[in-house]
Amino acid sequence: MNQERIYQVLVAPHISEKATNVADQSNHVVFKVAVDASKLEVKKAVEKLFKVKVDAVQILNMKGKVKQNRFGLSRRNNWKKAYVRLAEGHDIDFASFG
């Protein structure tokens, strides 16, 4: 996988209450990923970018919400979320990146 694709696969870390609980209980990190990303691509991108060992990746397709505005109904884009389980002893600190 080339360096350009690594930055296209991982869009952003997904911070939510559920993601925080999962991170505290079991060594998981949640990312918003590209819609065409595969499990293998996500695993390689996280390992290369953050220099950690990844045990497993689970990917979910998230449906975009239907919202109402003054013009009627509109739909938000569909997106993909990846739960990445890190190996024992590995951790990602997002505060040090930036």
Per-residue pLDDT of 78-94, as tens digits, reads: 999 999 999 998 888 77
Rounded CA-CA distance 15/95 in Å is 13
pTM over 0.75: yes
Q: Per-residue pLDDT tens for 31-73? A: 999 999 999 999 999 999 999 999 999 999 999 999 999 999 9
For residues 16-33, give the mean pLDDT: 93
pLDDT of residue 2: 85
pLDDT at 95 over 80: no
| Close Cβ partners of 15 (under 8 Å, ≥ 6 residues apart) | 30
pLDDT of residue 98: 56
For the CA atoms of 15, 19, 55, 64, the dihedral, rounded to the nearest 10 degrees, stands at -70
Q: Label residue 97 by pLDDT band (50, 70, 90).
A: low
